[in-house]
A and B are shown apart, each in its own frame.
Chain A
Amino acid sequence: MNADRTMLEITALEKRFDQTEVLKNIDLRVREGEMVFVIGPSGSGKSTMLRCCNRLEEPTSGAIMIDGQRITDIPRRDLDRMRLKVGMVFQGFHLYPHMSVVKNVMLAQTKALKRPAAEAEARALEMLDQVGLRHKADAMPNELSGGQQQRVAIARALALDPKVMLFDEPTSALDPELVGSVLKVMKDLRAKGMTMLVVSHEMAFAREAADRVIFMDGGYVVEQGTPDEVFGNPKSDRLKSFLARVLNTDEDAA
């Protein structure tokens, strides 16, 4: 692995919904094998930015490069192929409720990647093993806890061998005692060298596990740096007041 190779690069990204400018001139770079956290107040455009990276949201202007491919130039009808390289994990898990866990992890493998069923199943079981849920392969999603569902969703994305994983507030819908299991899976992934861009409110985890932290506010990247720089020595007033707010609520909750 070349640690300096850029896996994901966002240049001058803008996004407007009608008159509202949600993203204004975003520049951002994630190197191969890096885990980058994006933090910021709600409504700051974090999720929109993340969703532009697999074109679930269409950027208004700007460029996004993933693994050397300029994905903002791909015609709409060719998006499916690109999306195989970009795994996405949602806040709400979105497992398919009518399919067993292993079928959830197999579906896109067989239909989008055209893997033979036996190979897809082996791969699915391997991925479920990696997130510690191989024994739940035949369960239905509604029989799992939120944390387990989210780990299945991670396995579903990983089974397609993505180059980058995007996490959109992966633990925000979870009960506090289930958050740890999902964060552990993410940590394991980082150890395996997966490139990850994570939108999250887990400040303690970001501080402990992230390579870099990006602070967004009002559609801009306001500040970025190592966790120590961002949390330990915030420069801008906006970051200072944001950290004061979230770290205070954390203490209140504890």
Chain B
Amino acid sequence: MRFLETFFNTQVIANYLPDLIDAMGVTLGLAVTTIIAGVLGGALLACLRVAGIRWVNFFIIVFANMMRALPPLVLILILYFGMPSLGINLSGWMVIYLVLSAVLIAFAEEIFWGGLTAVPAGQWEAGRATGLSRAQTLFYIAFPQAARMGIPPLVNRTLATTKLTALGSVIGVKEILSVSSSAQSFSGSATPLTMAAIAYLVIFVPAVIASHRIERHYQYAT
């Protein structure tokens, strides 16, 4: 009984459920926008890197390495507490979105680029020999194959990055973790944290299942 009282207190659940549902909306919104920006941005940078323009590639590589090396929390704190001194005020939501997108762009770029370098040279030659331009060969032949190769690692990285939306709790974004931990402080009960865990499962278990489907759908033997 003590266990149920601590983690599944019905009164506390009733009190904080509406807030938590709002928070789920915030987390989901952050996750979806981050995934869109991250995957598209990563694909774009990887394709840009194929063009082989030296200073552009230098910028891409430096960006990708920095974003992968730095702990996202450091970037979040710098943007949230540092930028106002420059007169740039970003909301907590915007800071999380920008930082997580940048991190996912960096990882996605490396994943797509790895896939592109793994596409055999013969595929490029076959495309070019039939009169397709470099851009057409990239778009219709090389990138679709690179993307398929990249799906499993990309799915992993996407889930890992979107879970970092919980870092929003550090700068007051009303996402699942911050709402539930303040509810925990006010109520003195651990129940809101249980609710948070369940809320994360509700969002991410379907995402994991969907990702398995995507992986299976795009699989082919070579």
Which residues of A are interface residues toward B (Cβ below 8 A)?
A: 54, 56, 80-81, 83-84, 86-88, 90, 92, 94-98, 107-108, 111-113, 140, 142, 153, 156-157, 160
**8 Å CB interface, B114-154 against A:** 120, 122-123, 125-133, 136, 140-141, 144-145, 148
Residue B221 at the chain A interface, CB threshold 8 Å: yes
CA distance A111 to B139 in the complex (A): 11
Residues of the B chain whose Cβ atoms lie less than 8 Å from the Cβ of A98: 144-145, 148, 220
B131 in complex: contacting residue of A56, A84, A92, CB < 8 Å: A84
Tell me whether A94 and B130 are in contact (CB under 8 A).
no
CA distance A31 to B71 in the complex (A): 67
CA distance A108 to B130 in the complex (A): 6
Tell me whether B140 and A107 are in contact (CB under 8 A).
yes
CA distance A90 to B130 in the complex (A): 12
| Sampled A-B contacts (24; CB under 8 Å) | A80-B128, A80-B132, A83-B128, A83-B129, A83-B130, A84-B130, A88-B130, A94-B122, A94-B125, A94-B126, A96-B123, A97-B145, A97-B222, A98-B145, A98-B148, A107-B132, A107-B140, A108-B132, A111-B132, A113-B131, A142-B220, A153-B126, A157-B130, A160-B131
CA distance A157 to B131 in the complex (A): 10
Given contacts A97-B220, A111-B136, contact A56 B128 (CB under 8 A): yes
Residue of B nearest to A111 (CB): B136
Which residues of B are interface residues toward A (Cβ below 8 A)?
A: 120, 122-123, 125-133, 136, 140-141, 144-145, 148, 220-222
Tell me whether A108 and B131 are in contact (CB under 8 A).
yes
Given contacts A56-B128, A84-B131, A96-B141, contact A142 B221 (CB under 8 A): yes
A112 in complex: contacting residue of B120, B125, B136, B148, CB < 8 Å: B136
B126 in complex: contacting residue of A84, A90, A113, CB < 8 Å: A90
Q: In whole Å, how far is B131's beta carbon from the nearest beta carbon of chain A?
A: 4
Residue of B nearest to A140 (CB): B220
A90 in complex: contacting residue of B125, B131, B132, CB < 8 Å: B125
CA distance A81 to B133 in the complex (A): 9
Given contacts A98-B144, A111-B136, A142-B221, contact A83 B131 (CB under 8 A): yes
Q: In whole Å, how far is A8's beta carbon from the nearest beta carbon of chain B?
A: 15
Given contacts A96-B123, A98-B145, contact A112 B129 (CB under 8 A): no
Residues of the B chain whose Cβ atoms lie less than 8 Å from the Cβ of A84: 130-131
Residue of B nearest to A97 (CB): B222
Tell me whether A80 and B221 are in contact (CB under 8 A).
no
Given contacts A56-B125, A142-B220, contact A160 B145 (CB under 8 A): no
CA distance A81 to B130 in the complex (A): 9
Q: In whole Å, how far is B53's beta carbon from the nearest beta carbon of chain A?
A: 16
Residues of the A chain whose Cβ atoms lie less than 8 Å from the Cβ of B127: 108
Q: In whole Å, how far is B119's beta carbon from the nearest beta carbon of chain A?
A: 10
CA distance A113 to B136 in the complex (A): 12
Residues of the A chain whose Cβ atoms lie less than 8 Å from the Cβ of B222: 97, 142
Residues of the A chain whose Cβ atoms lie less than 8 Å from the Cβ of B125: 56, 90, 94
Residue of B nearest to A103 (CB): B140
